[in-house]
Copies of this chain bind each other. A is one copy, B any other.
Amino acid sequence: MTMIFGADYYPEQWTPADYDEDIRLMKDMGLSSVRLAEFAWALMEPRPGKYDFSFFERIIDKLGEEGISVILGTPTATFPPWLAKKYPDIHQERNGIRRTIGTRRQACFASANYRRASEKIVTAMAKKFGKHPNVIAWQIDNELGHEGSDVDHSDTSLKAFRVWLKKKYKTIGEVNRRWGASFWGIVYSGFDEIPMPGRHVQSGFNPSMMLDFYRFHSDTVLDYVRMQTKILRKHSPGRELTTNLYPSPFLPILDMAALARELDYMAWDNYPVWGEMEEPYPHPLVSYMHEYVRGLKDQSFTVMEQICGFQGHEVLGYLPEPGQTALWTKHAIAHGANSIYYFRFRTARFGQEQLCYGLLDHDKEPTKRSIELSRAIDDIQKVADDFIDEALPAEAVVVHDIDNARNLKIQPISKGLRFSPVPYVDVGYDVEIGTWFSGLNILNVNAHVRPSSEVDLSEYKVAFLPLYWIADPEFVHHVEAFVRNGGVLVLGYRAGLKDTDGWMCDTQVPGLFTELAGVRVRQFESVGEQKVKLKFRALPGSCSKICEIVEPITAEVVARYTDRRKFYRGAPAITRNSYGHGAVYYVGTALTPFSNMLFYRRVLREAGVPFRFFGPQIERVQRKGREQDYEILMNHSGKAKFAGLRRLQPYETRITPKPRGTFG
């Protein structure tokens, strides 16, 4: 396949006088595809059941004539005001706030009325455009679950939750048993007594209930997506289906791996900086996000919205430096993107995204960034084509587990694991997983991120399993086999704490992993943001968040606490246990970055995985192409930096072909 560059285009926000010029400008920049219509329901169905596809038909035709292909969005992320008037039950609610017309992501996925209305518009749209030669793919809805819409406290949602519970548990007695109804005497007599686990004054709701509440939401969204995929597969044969996650790691409720199974490829929206942020995310976190999305289907993906300017709704922040947006494009490609759509072609003159600067400003003059990206597209197009659809080689994997992501929202145990920079973003789990990934990234080890439900550990030499508190016995068996057969496992603190009902195990941590890890843990402290000293061999280091007092059974000690303020100074913090042909490192704490690097070096050496540190702002990714292999070096800094002997300019990406077999 050929690398596709495109843009998110909103012709409905411009005038007929603009289209020809817009298309010419796109082509000049090297763009050959657009995404259209994902918020255009009211334009296509101006009155109930009265469809008018003429506008988009003209646009799609015109684009086709000029060789610009189209991904169509199903327009269900907002809905027409008339629909809201007709069906008051289609609104989501969050913490007592009804999501009304006028913003977006208001729809209650559990509403039968919303579902029927969605079916109709998607069917009509699919019938109309499904076989249009210029339509290459469909994006289902837009940023499912974004803006906190993955949790809905509406009455409709509550009723659906009760139905879901009935389906799962059959009897109310079974609900009581599995949730532990004897606790605080909350014994339900019927499903209609189940309350909404939403706002509360102080003490919250039963954690097993919360886990189910999140699973219910995930299932409901999946079911809603399946409704759409079914229609599209029927009426739009041969077109690929996808959806755009935003920012995928930041939604710890929806089962993205299950979602991925419904789709042909994954897409996501990549905003390394947004709103009032004063600087972009650290690059390893963005690498993590790419790898997370890549790992969902273990295949190349699309960046459906790639920041090209700088954005915010009410407030702006960091202005990307010259070369930086080009680097972000290449960074995405290095990590598995095979299509990139820039958000957005022109900057809206009106509406909530007036400050979301696109490739062009509110006028049509070339911008510094449109020129920069046009050059970047030119640069990379050819070399990228060789490798973008080849597998990204990796000997290391970090395992992501959706139930544990949900559980951490409910019960983070340490405030160091609670991370909620804005309301409705509660991403301690992903930040911590991303931190574990970052340790590999910074050592320039190609690493995958895979869902526990999908991963085949036998493909890897070393596996990292952090925050695996809820332990599924089946996956534990898989892990055991991996180690037995020679794999190196790095197991994080509190592993094996709970069962899949959210109950604490009646054995000590690490529960089902005890024999594998050769340790047990009977005491721990949640140290929050405190930095606690430890010694990794002779080298001093530090850790935070959780400090377990690890008691070796068969394991040997790798690191010990040394902090004078802590009574458990001298106690083991990290251990290593030989098991079968492999080994298990048990990490009873959260290492700070430098300590983590020391530790990972030891682990990687044992696992036989090569690594190389070029400094904190240089990243190396290795790709295999059809023709050649490639070393991709990226300087994520605004200053010139050395990667070994090679000097990289600010924000430079250097792709060097390598003889086959140099790595991987």
Q: Which residues of A contact B (CB under 8 A)?
A: 10, 12-13, 39-43, 46-47, 75, 78-82, 84-85, 92, 94-97, 99-105, 147-149, 179-189, 192-193, 195-197, 199-209, 276, 278, 312-319, 321-322, 347-355, 361-363, 365, 367-368, 410-415, 418, 423-424, 501-508, 522-528, 530, 567-568, 638
Contact of A186 among B102, B181, B321, B506 (CB under 8 A): B102
Name the residue on B nearest A81 (C-beta): B193
Contact present for B525 and A318 (CB under 8 Å): yes
Are A313 and B103 also in contact (CB < 8 A) when A39-B184, A350-B180, A503-B349 are?
A: no
Contact of A363 among B195, B365, B507 (CB under 8 A): B507
- Contacts A96-B97, A367-B522 aside, 10 further interface pairs with beta carbons under 8 A come to A81-B195, A103-B201, A103-B204, A103-B205, A179-B350, A180-B348, A278-B528, A316-B525, A317-B528, A319-B524
Contacts A/B (CB < 8 Å), 19 sampled: A10-B182, A39-B184, A42-B185, A78-B184, A80-B187, A82-B189, A85-B192, A97-B199, A101-B186, A148-B201, A148-B202, A179-B350, A201-B424, A205-B352, A315-B418, A315-B526, A317-B415, A319-B526, A363-B507
Contact present for A352 and B207 (CB under 8 Å): yes
Contact present for B195 and A101 (CB under 8 Å): yes
> Please, which residues of chain B bring their CB within 8 A of the CB of A200?
97, 99-100, 102-103
> Please, which residues of chain B bring their CB within 8 A of the CB of A507?
362-363
> Please, which residues of chain B bring their CB within 8 A of the CB of A201?
92, 94-95, 97, 99, 103, 105, 147-149, 424
* A505 CA to B349 CA, complexed, in Å: 7
Contact present for A319 and B523 (CB under 8 Å): yes
A278 to chain B, nearest CB (A): 6
Residue in A10, A347, A503 whose Cβ sees the most chain B Cβ within 10 Å:
A503
> Please, which residues of chain B bring their CB within 8 A of the CB of A104?
184, 203
Contact of A506 among B42, B362, B524 (CB under 8 A): B362
* A95 CA to B97 CA, complexed, in Å: 9
Report the 8 A-B pairs with minimum CB-CB distance, sorted nearest first. Answer: A183-B351, A180-B350, A319-B525, A147-B202, A81-B193, A42-B187, A316-B526, A42-B185
> Please, which residues of chain B bring their CB within 8 A of the CB of A414?
315-316
Are A638 and B367 also in contact (CB < 8 A) when A350-B183, A361-B522 are?
A: no
How many copies, total? 3
Contact present for A80 and B185 (CB under 8 Å): yes
Are A100 and B196 also in contact (CB < 8 A) when A39-B185, A148-B201 are?
A: yes
Contact present for B40 and A506 (CB under 8 Å): no
> Please, which residues of chain B bring their CB within 8 A of the CB of A504?
347-350, 354, 362
Residue in A79, A313, A410, A501 whose Cβ sees the most chain B Cβ within 10 Å:
A313
* A6 CA to B315 CA, complexed, in Å: 45
Contact of A204 among B188, B205, B314, B501 (CB under 8 A): B314
Name the residue on B nearest A568 (C-beta): B319
> Please, which residues of chain B bring their CB within 8 A of the CB of A503?
349-350, 354
A10 to chain B, nearest CB (A): 7
Name the residue on B nearest A151 (C-beta): B201
* A354 CA to B208 CA, complexed, in Å: 11
Contact present for A188 and B314 (CB under 8 Å): no
Contact present for B81 and A187 (CB under 8 Å): yes
Contact present for B75 and A351 (CB under 8 Å): no
* A410 CA to B183 CA, complexed, in Å: 36
> Please, which residues of chain B bring their CB within 8 A of the CB of A47?
189
A67 to chain B, nearest CB (A): 26
Name the residue on B nearest A147 (C-beta): B202
Contact present for A182 and B43 (CB under 8 Å): yes
* A318 CA to B84 CA, complexed, in Å: 50
> Please, which residues of chain B bring their CB within 8 A of the CB of A46?
187, 189
> Please, which residues of chain B bring their CB within 8 A of the CB of A317?
415, 525-526, 528
Name the residue on B nearest A205 (C-beta): B102
Contact present for A195 and B102 (CB under 8 Å): yes
Contact present for B43 and A508 (CB under 8 Å): no
A621 to chain B, nearest CB (A): 25
Contact present for B204 and A413 (CB under 8 Å): no
Contact present for B321 and A278 (CB under 8 Å): no
* A363 CA to B10 CA, complexed, in Å: 60
Name the residue on B nearest A324 (C-beta): B567
* A502 CA to B354 CA, complexed, in Å: 10
> Please, which residues of chain B bring their CB within 8 A of the CB of A85?
192-193
Contact present for B202 and A103 (CB under 8 Å): yes
A200 to chain B, nearest CB (A): 5
Contact present for B182 and A12 (CB under 8 Å): yes
> Please, which residues of chain B bring their CB within 8 A of the CB of A363?
506-508
A77 to chain B, nearest CB (A): 8
Contact present for B206 and A351 (CB under 8 Å): yes
Contact present for A208 and B350 (CB under 8 Å): yes
Residue in A208, A314, A413 whose Cβ sees the most chain B Cβ within 10 Å:
A314
Name the residue on B nearest A93 (C-beta): B201
Are A505 and B276 also in contact (CB < 8 A) when A13-B183, A201-B424, A352-B204 are?
A: no
Residue in A180, A319, A351, A502 whose Cβ sees the most chain B Cβ within 10 Å:
A351
* A248 CA to B282 CA, complexed, in Å: 44
Contact present for B362 and A42 (CB under 8 Å): no
Are A313 and B203 also in contact (CB < 8 A) when A504-B349, A567-B321 are?
A: yes
> Please, which residues of chain B bring their CB within 8 A of the CB of A321?
567
Contact present for A355 and B147 (CB under 8 Å): no
* A415 CA to B186 CA, complexed, in Å: 40
* A97 CA to B348 CA, complexed, in Å: 34
> Please, which residues of chain B bring their CB within 8 A of the CB of A12?
182
Contact present for B413 and A315 (CB under 8 Å): yes
> Please, which residues of chain B bring their CB within 8 A of the CB of A502?
350
A247 to chain B, nearest CB (A): 14
Contact of A351 among B180, B322, B362 (CB under 8 A): B180
* A347 CA to B506 CA, complexed, in Å: 10
Are A206 and B350 also in contact (CB < 8 A) when A195-B101, A315-B412 are?
A: yes
* A504 CA to B13 CA, complexed, in Å: 13
* A501 CA to B351 CA, complexed, in Å: 11
